[in-house]
Amino acid sequence: MDALLPSLPLSPDACYAVLQARDSRFDGKMYVGVTSTGIYCRPICRVRAPKRENCVFFAHAAQAEAAAFRPCLKCRPELAPGGALRWSVMDASKTLAQQAAAWLDGQTQAEASVEDLATHLGITSRHLRRIFAAEHGVTPLQYLQTRRLLLAKHLLTDTALPVTQVALQAGFASLRRFNAAFVEHYRLQPTALRREGKAKTTGLPSALLLAYRPPYHVDAMLEFLERRAIVGIETIDKARRSIRRSLRITQAGQGCEGWLEVTFDANRPQVRLSLSEGLVPATATVLPLVRRWLDLDADPLQIDAALATLPAHACQQPGVRLPGCVDRFELAVRAVLGQQITVAAARTLAGRFVQRFGTPLNEAAPEGLTRLFPEPEQVAAASRDDIASLGIIARRADALRLLAEAWPRLLINQAQATHEAAQRELIALPGLGPWTASYMLMRMWSWPDAFLPGDVVLRKQLATPGEPLPSPKRVLELSQAWQPYRSYAVMRLWRATTPPPTELS
């Protein structure tokens, strides 16, 4: 019997065709449970395709596990890309259910509960359970349990973390509860997934695989980040298809700092994430940050369809992703520093800013990584003259100080806030205009539908040859056709510019 659940992307027969073709475009969007083995797989699994009558299809891993299927040890469902969050005011219940799943994906605390989630979203727990089941086909607790178990499976397979740390990072209150849940759901002991010597071959304590749906325009991502790389904070090696950067992060109230490296696999749609010793305790928090930073959960099929009416030179760029961030405050400072100057000039100012107000990276790191980005408290404590001495105009220095002072209470840090409210709050801060606020939302929140109608580059790209530049109002009207992926339209239009745009973009 097929699992005809609300969010299954295709008919069961079409799902079987995807399975036979091992179509990676549907990876993470559907799973197949094999009734003859009790195992569920990703559609890209390399094992021999089961018979059609033995296949049950699911839209989520949690649905498969709720039906008592165990994850395949070969294709590893925990590596599959997640569902991209699509925001829509047209279907509030659907959006809330997706926000709820995103909140659960980010939970590393054993105390997380349905009541906490309902309070976070501003709805009753009864309403939450109803809309969640309608959208995802499982209860919030079933979804959370699956996420925790798959995260634990990921850490057990790809890292050398002690089992006790794996249990805690995955959100289990105790090792006993973790062992019991793992054996109950997967019918094997956690230690059975251990690979001798794993994570030691690279000389690093942690190396994890993260999958994505192709196509992925790796060169576009690396070039975008390389042009903005801050000296001392990050380095990009296009030949190795890798990015390294320093990072400070908090997990379960514990501050962690160190560095990470991501490398795009040349042969498979996946990246390898390596963490330094200092960041290993925050592995569970770093994983979703990296996925958003590199936009690994994007759905190229839906994005390409939505952007089909872009100008031809911009439309023919499949796989261009939306670069996010791993440190929201860092991105906010970069956005303010880059107002009305070139990307190169903004990068220079950011480098001076880090050298003056950042702190040394104490952990041994690869060449080029020497500093940690300043924290809000450090910037708030600086004087206008301190900041202005770096070549930053006084008005912008004031904007940075006020931003840092307001940072802890801003809506941009609250997942339940609407983008309209967050944008209004940002614009109300001195020195932040609509362009900067939209840019912050686009990259800090990985907001897929932000647009910058006043951007000169976009107006040039959308101009009719021989006619004046379209007004911001007209550009905004044109952009309606690309909803809900206008942020991706911005990235493609910027990339299509020759020469590259001179303003921060």
Q: Which residues are catalytic?
A: 41, 455
CB atoms within 10 A of CB 362: 10
Half-sphere exposure of 347 (CA within 13 A, CB side): 18
Contact 78, 151 (CB under 8 A): yes
**Tokens at 448, concatenated:** 């897929």
- Sort residue 466 into left (φ over 0), alpha (ψ -120 to 50) or beta: left
CA distance 476 to 266: 38
**With helix as H, strand as E and coil as C, how does 400-412 read?**
HHHHHHHHHHCHH
Q: Tell me if residue 93 falls in helix, strand or coil.
A: helix
**Tokens at 358, concatenated:** 């950042």
Q: Tell me if residue 367 falls in helix, strand or coil.
A: coil
CA distance 74 to 33: 14
Contact 419, 88 (CB under 8 A): no
Lookup result for tokens 């307001």? 406
133-146 CB burial, b ≥16 within 10 A, e <16: bebbbbbbbbbbbb
CA distance 476 to 492: 16
Half-sphere exposure of 91 (CA within 13 A, CB side): 11
DSSP E strand stretches across 348-497:
359-360, 371-372
Helix, strand and coil content of the chain, in percent to the nearest 5, comes to 50, 10, 40
The dihedrals phi and psi of 408, each to the nearest 5 degrees, come to -60, -25
**Tokens at 303, concatenated:** 């994005």
Query: What residue type is assigned to position 480 of the chain?
Result: Q
**Tokens at 457, concatenated:** 């580059």
Contact 469, 463 (CB under 8 A): yes
Lookup result for tokens 């073709």? 21
Contact 479, 486 (CB under 8 A): yes
Partner residues linked to 237 by β-bridges: 242
